Each structure stands twice: as C-alpha cells, then as structure tokens.
Amino acid sequence: AQTVTQSQPEMSVQEAETVTLSCTYDTSESDYYLFWYKQPPSRQMILVIRQEAYKQQNATENRFSVNFQKAAKSFSLKISDSQLGDAAMYFCAYRPGQGGSEKLVFGKGTKLTVNP
C-alpha cells in the first residue's frame, strides 16, 4: 500500500521569507500524481499545486514550487515570499495514475505558522 510521510509536524517562517515543507512517499508504481493541499482554519481543502510523475519539470504556481525527486520519492513544497495568509495546515497527497478510482492518500500534515 502506498504511504505518504510528512516528517515536520510544525514549521514557522518569517513573513517575506522562504520555507520548504518536506514530503516522502512510498510506492512501487511508476505512474502517479502528487499534490499539495492547503487547509486554513476554515477547514476548506484547497489545492496548491500538482505534479505528474512522468514530468521531469518541477511544477510551479506563482510563489509555490515543488522539488520532485522521483528516484528518492521526495516531493517538497517551497513557499517563497511567505505571506500571513499562507498560515495553514499543508497536506501532501499521492494518487495512482491508473486504476480508475483516483483515491488520494494523505500525509498527516505540517502546520505552517507565518510570523509578522
């Protein structure tokens, strides 16, 4: 079974600085997708960024980028120019590329605090 591990229960960053959240996963498949979701205090799950395993290029969405290391099964999220609104729980998630059900497997999350 696939597993997702987030080794940092909590992280903090100063406003305008850069922070990196770690995620590792375990799978025997070669085709899959990886996601970072943000969950603010409102509880709404918001997709931050997505990476297809077959793509070598790291995904980027404005201030958010990933470092995808397929051989190491690592998928870290970098937040640049951190803003107060970035404070939230961040969840890394894995989804198999084939199989039809598209089930997500989540890590336990990292709580990010942004200090003014």
- Judged by the rule CB under 8 A, the positions of this chain that interact with other proteins are 4, 35, 42-45, 47, 50, 91, 93, 100-104, 106-109
Q: Which residues contact 26 (CB under 8 A, 6 or more apart)?
A: 2, 3, 4, 5, 73
Q: How far is the CB of 33 from other proteins (least distance, A)?
A: 8
Q: How far is the CB of 10 from other proteins (least distance, A)?
A: 11
Burial 4-26 (b: 16+ CB within 10 A, else e): bebeeeebebeeeeebebbbbbe
Residue with tokens 């937040």: 79
Q: Which is nearer to other proteins, 82 or 96 (CB)?
A: 96
Q: Which is nearer to other proteins, 17 or 102 (CB)?
A: 102
The span from the CA of 20 to the CA of 27, in Å, is 23
Q: How far is the CB of 17 from other proteins (least distance, A)?
A: 26
Q: Which is nearer to other proteins, 15 or 61 (CB)?
A: 61
